Each structure stands twice: as C-alpha cells, then as structure tokens.
Amino acid sequence: MDGCVSKMRIGLDVGGTHTDAVLMDGSQVIARVKATTTEDVASGIEAALSAVLKWQSPGAVDLLSIGTTQFTNAVVQRKQLSRVAAVRVCLPAGRGLMPRADWPQDLVEATDGGSYLIHGGHLYDGRALSELHESEFVDLTQALTDTQPAAVVVSCAFSPTQPEQEDQLVARLAESLPGVRVCASHVMGGLGLIERENASILNASLLNLADRVTNALVESSKKLGLQCPVYVSQNDGTLIDLERVRQFPALTFASGPTNSIRGAWALTGLADAIVIDVGGTTSDIGVLKNGFPRQSNLVVDVGGARTNFRMPDVIAMGIGGGSLIGSEGASCGPQSVACELSEKALCFGGQVMTLTDVAISQDRLNIADASRSRPVSAEICEAVDSLIIDKLAAAVDLMKPGGATLPVILVGGGAPLIPGDALAGCPIVRPENAGVANAIGASIAQVSGEAEGMRVAGADSREAVIEKLTAIASAKAKAAGADSVTINVVNVEEVDIPYMVTDTSRIRVSVIGDLASREVLASYNVP
C-alpha cells in the first residue's frame, strides 16, 4: 500500500445494504463510515462522502475510488438493460448454437436485439475460415437499420488472436449505423467464442446504464467539491477510469469481493491467505495470491449466462448476520432477513432468531439489546457455532491451494459472527477495521493491463512472445492511468492447446502499476 502514489484517498464500496466509505492517509485510516444504500444509489454515496469529508477538505483528496454492484444487480434483476444485436462471424462453421441459446428466457427478452451469422473468422492456427462477404454486409446493415438496436456486438471466431476481421466489420458498421454503439468482442473476453460473445452482449446491454451511473458519480463528486480523479474498481482488484467504465461496465461485476480481498491484504500485510468476507446475507470465501485475488479459470455464470470474464475465484455461502436459525439451532441459513435485520431480528425487537442474535447472546457483538436475545439458549448457540464452523471449514479446505495451511482473514461487518481461532487447521486473523475492508480495498487499488496471444513451437520463442505481450499489456495499463515507472508483470499464464498439428499454447500476461500522480496523468492526457 505504501507504493501507491496518491496519498489522501477516499475508498467507497456500494453494497446492497450498506455503502461503506473510508478516508485514507497513506496506510492510515482517518475516518470510516457506514451509510444506508439508497434506491437511487447517488444519494447514499453523497451521504457517505459527506460524512468522511468532515475529516478532510475536498480539495486535499487525491483520489476517489468506488466499488459498485449496480451493473451486477441490473443483470440479475433484468432491469435497465438495452437491446443488443449479436453478429457472429463464423460461417461456414459455428451454426450449431445461436447467440443467447442457453440464456434464461427473461434475460433474452430483456436484451434481444436480433442474432445474425455471417461468413468469416479464423482457426486456432490463424488460418481464415472464410473471407467477409460484401453481400452479407449489405444485408446485415439493412436489417440493423430496420430494427435499430441500442448496440451491436461483433464476435469473430478466434478474434482475440486474429482481430483484423472483427475490427474491420466493427468500423464499417459504426460508419453505416450512426447512433448505434458497435462493439468488438475481442476486447471483452478470451478465446471461447460462445462465452466471449455472451460477455460482450451483457456488457453492451449495460452501456446506457453506464453512462447514467458515471454521470451521476461525476455530478456527486463535483457537488461535494472534490477535484480529484474518480476511478472504479474492477474484477481483478484494480482500477479503471470512468471513460473505461462507460465502455466496459461488465468489468466491475465482481468488484465487491475483490475489494474485500485486497482490503484484507492491506489490513494484515499477508500476501497469501484465505479471506472470508461476512456480510448480512452471505459469506464470500476467496484466496489472496501474491496480494491479489486468485482468478478463476472456469467459465463464470453471470445472471444465467456463461461468460469468460476474468473473475475472482470465490465461493458464496448463505451465512450472514441475517441468516435464519432453525428450531433448536438445527440449521443456519441460507434463508435470511437480509436488509430487514433491524426490524425482524430478536435483538431489535423482532420475532425472528438470526445469527446476529446468536453472536449478541455470546457477547461477540454489541450492536443491540442483548436482553432481547434471551430465547437463544446456550445449547442453540453451541449447535449453531458447530454448524457454521463445519460449513466454513469445508469451504476453506476446498479453497486451499494444494492443501496448504494458510491464515484465514475474517473481514466484513459480520466478521464477529464467526467463532473460534481456527478453521480447517488454519489460524484465524481478525484485523482492526475489518468491517470496512471493502472500502479500504477500493482505496488502495492499482491499475492493470492484460494481453494474450498464441505461441507456435518453432515459429516464436516463449520469451519473445512474453516480451511482446508484456509491452502490449503495459501500454494498456499506462492508457488506463498507471505510472509507467511502477508497472511490473504480476502473472504469466500459459495453457497448451490440444489437437494442433504443431505444439501450440495460449499465453496471457498481466501487469500492474500504481496510479500516476495528477501531473503525470495530465501528461498522458488521461482524465
């Protein structure tokens, strides 16, 4: 954290129930606030910011970084989504499964702007499946002119390694369809065509919402007198500027868990650990690897659609402050009173026994009247504690890298709910300010860049391919606002590609750097 260029920073994490904010001076927490998340989100953000700005003048703040679940919620709830046309460039292959074929029907209805298959694309080895057909382009343009979707996504087979056809078609469609956003899939996902296409469609359906959200963030910061850059945290625990959020809102889907995991690192200094973020409804279990969230290599389900976003490897369990306790402590969750905890829990005068009541009755929490939790007997407490320890221990065992014994860092407002000193043989660490680890994680985030390509044995050396990809990834990080002096490689991923005549592998390089100072950003011409 000490390497971060910006000194006075505000970190903000907008959750479903609470909006957490911290004011950081270097590694020191100056102020911490929990505000209620509002339906319009903006007023809740302003309330949290106003509270922390009582401790510092707005002009002295160097950076405002925000984690938000707005875009995830829009997909999950099927709200505020735009119609997107899907153009798949894959013929004569690729007919077997149409775009959105395996999506839930309500998500299809919310986003469907038509589907089109045309000739083109490539194979693994770079050979063309087909050239683009001019007659198909004319017909496609006419169809899109007639239907007027809000956006168009173009997905070519193997475009992440051979983007020329995709870029050509995107440019021509953008020229022919004024007012319609045309998006290339190769900038969104990896090699898998269907998953990349899904990810790109979801992202495009959020573009209009992204405009509204980013405009609101700008207005809120100006209203409060902030003059600093505004950044948003993304899925890998790093930052993107508002312009990139406007283009790629889906990159923020998992910002909540990643912020908490990064915050756990900042609070403890532990580069490798298991992190459990305990909230009101669920507990998210992730892994710190070299100070960053371990990324999942699996296909990720977002709102019922299979995608290949780079997402953190996280398990969500139905254990939180609002988890309902069954008769005599026979069960705990996954049902929850969620944001109605303050009305329904015994300790607040309600009629429902929750995990919060169990913790209060054992003096692990002091947020309400303990006398109201008298129905929670010692026997119930013991049964519930045993249940949640067993459930979390099983999850920790599953997440251990190679079965290694790592410390377990407990963060989140519900961290005191979890009893004991160890889980699955791993010691529990309870850092100070654990309740706002998510906001701290947002405040310390850095800037990343990523590039991937193919290496064919005998054609290119591994070192040459990595060097080329590192240069591309570094350029992306710099364009996103990273100080070029601080950029370094954090991960090189290499996967062999089967069924090729010549040994072929896919290589992905990830780099990271500190956010540049205002003066350096100005020289980059980065907002």
pTM above 0.75, yes or no: yes
Question: What's the mean per-residue pLDDT of the chain?
Answer: 87
pLDDT higher than threshold 80 for residue 218: yes
124-153 pLDDT per residue, tens: 667 778 888 999 999 999 999 999 999 999
Placement of tokens 């902030």 in the chain: 226
3-state SS, one letter per residue, for 501-520:
CCCEEEEEEEEEECECCHHH
Q: Cα(3)–Cα(445) distance, rounded to whole angstroms? A: 11
In tens, the pLDDT along 94-123 reads 777 899 999 999 999 999 999 999 998 887
The pLDDT assigned to 522 comes to 54
Which range among 101-110, 152-161, 502-511 shows the weakest confidence by mean pLDDT? 502-511
DSSP-derived pairing of the beta strands 426-429 and 488-497: unpaired
Closest CA to 103 of 205, 231, 241, 229: 205
Q: Is residue 473 a contact partner of residue 511, using CB atoms and an 8 Å limit? A: yes
| Band (253; pLDDT cuts 50, 70, 90) | confident
**What average pLDDT does this structure show over 204-232?**
90
Residue partners of 387: CB distance under 8 A and separation at least 6: 329, 331, 332
Whether 526 shows a pLDDT value over 80: the answer reads no
> What is the Cα–Cα distance from 203 to 82, expressed in whole angstroms?
10
pLDDT tens readout for residues 356-382: 999 999 988 888 877 776 778 999 999
Q: Where are the beta strands (DSSP E) in 337-433?
A: 408-411, 422-423, 426-429
> Could you confirm whether domain 82-205 is CATH 3.40.630?
no
Question: Each residue of 406-417: pLDDT tens digit?
Answer: 999 999 988 999
pLDDT tens string 426-443? 999 999 999 899 899 888
What are the tokens at 175? 């020229």
CB count within 10 Å of CB 184 equals 18
Q: Can you tell me which residue has the tokens 């040994």?
A: 503
> What whole-number distance in Å separates Cα of residue 273 and Cα of residue 412?
16
Percentage of the chain modeled with pLDDT above 70:
95
